[in-house]
Structure 1
Amino acid sequence: MNRETRWMAGVLLMGSLAAACENGGADLGFQPIPNGGAVVQVYLDRDGSSTRTDFDTTYAGASVSLRPYYGGASVQTKPTLVTGQALFEQVPFGDYSVSVGQASVGDSLLVAAIDASHIRIRAAVDAPSVIVRLAYPEVSIRQARQMAPGKRVLIRGIVLAGVQSYHDASSFVKDTSGTIRLTGVTIRGTQLGNTPGDSVTVLGTTTANAGQPVLNLAIISQIVQRPSPAVLPVSSANAAAATNGTLDAALVVVTGVVISEAAPAAPDFRVVASDGSGPLTIILDSATDFDLSAFTIGRTMAVRGVLVPDGTGKWRLKPRVREDVVFF
């Protein structure tokens, strides 16, 4: 337990114990409790940082037990209050461990860490404190794509396309196991967007959209900025099929594609182009300031972007910024 954590837990304990004592106002200081005591603070790690941050919240209603460290039934079980505290009083001196009942936090959360596996209650005025961190299950992107709908999970990855690039509040991330699209995105903190290459955690709910797995109601927390991610070269035909779906949500580039169609498709602009292997639909999102007059039939270009399913078994390529399109 670090100094800040001990200080916080100590303040919480002293405040709770002082409120519980009936001293008639004669003594406003810390009051000893009979036998001994302990305080357990439970919080929910909402951003997956594994440390206390401003984004985390205390957790009320968790069932916390004190058990003899060397075995035996619990000596006390208390629910956490709105402050996230479970306060134990009149505990016989001895050695104890802390546990949290899984049923009390539901099947969508895990007890990720308890910062003290062994506490000793030796004196009434020296009550130990314990911090318990709850967290959402953390999975790889591949695992998230394979999960049943409705599971709230945490993933870690690298941003491929920022939410500011698309009017539908979508974003795209990858890890070493795969790629996935995020929908209904919000970003923690004061940032208005996220930069390709950012290392992030994402809390979202598994579901499907246009026939492909996504994480919906995704909340992104930035960890650190990194260089832009690599782009995978593909043919226009492979892009249109996302290589049999294996490149869903991937960041790719097609080169030497010739425009055959270009017209508004409200609220966006639709372009069809091919490198000779097959046609590919390219969607220029209304959230990005493309020079639409440049997209004329017969013009050749290279286009980077992410692959988004259209719900019919085909994929469309969506550039992120103007610089993703280069004309020859």
Structure 2
Amino acid sequence: MTADTVGGVWTYALELSRGLLARGWGVHLATMGAPLSARQRAEARALGGGLRVHEGAWRLEWMQDPWADLEQAARWLLALEAELRPRVVHLNQYVFGVLPFRAPTLLVAHSCVASWWRAVHGEAAPPAWDRYRDCVTRGLAGASCVAAPTRAMLAALQREYGFDGPAVVIPNGREVARFEPAPKQPFILAAGRLWDEAKNLAALDAVAPALSWPVRVAGACDGPDGQHRRPNWVQVLGTLPAPVLAREMGRAAIYALPARYEPFGLSILEAALSGCALVLGDIGSLRETWGEAALFVPPDDAVALRETLTRLIADAPLRERLAQAAWERAHQFPAQRMTEATLAAYARLPTRRPRPLAEESTCA
């Protein structure tokens, strides 16, 4: 299984690995994006000897000028597969779908630049991303099967890349026992990369001075390609270890993420399991996942965001009803269900034969 170390895919990969290990599978995790942090190493060790981590630091397909790194990562992955001879290759990046693995491949589409760009900028990604678009198109076409966490994300693949191959929707999941509501305190919490325009955490910074409760944001201010955003009005908690963030969620009365783009939203699921009332960006994927269990605001409507949060701060019975609805909805997305759906997808994969070595190149 491939995994990157700079976003939510790391959390997804560990959660799925935990479920696979419990069902007797061995998992080899091939990491890239950045060196593992001490915290990530400890999280991987905690899963026991059934998980082996193979560490790389190759740049990811959405990073600046990643092509030479991707070629090296491709050769590395093919060598790992030849050595390990796995039953399945589980890919959490697009470009490697084109590689001639001997085992069948399940490629999971967590997000992509083309749909991110359209959601954030309201238009198609510019020609500078054409090479990326071609690589993603080829990777999707080369995979044995593609999985997406929502119908909205699968539709985005069809719209942006013309994808029409075998596909399945497998919602993300979290282990319910790791999150527990605590006595609620009067503050609003958000979590995400502050530098990522899609998370739209700048909107919370803009409305924070007008709110009677403090707004606390957990996440990094700096991105891997020099991105930087330091907010003025919210309390920045930095990148928190998972248990610490879970405690913050347990205490927060409201969780707000007015996202412009969020194909699933693991942090939202964690907050719902922790008993938070949810205020979310009004986008298709979040409507699909949360339905009537959240309040929704247009991502670029600061007035609506301020008014919705002000209303929720003032109305304790409404907060409690929404928190209960979100908690109940969140229990439809346990890690066990994600693991079982993934194993069912593995079982449906066709037998795969290696393709000619000339096709090894990812995007050269």
- The TM-score normalised by the length of structure 2 is 0.21
Tell me which protein shows more helix as a share of its residues.
Answer: 2
- The TM-score normalised by the length of structure 1 is 0.23
Which protein is bigger by CA-based radius of gyration? 1
Of structures 1 and 2, the one with the larger relative CO (CA 8 A, separation 6+) is 2
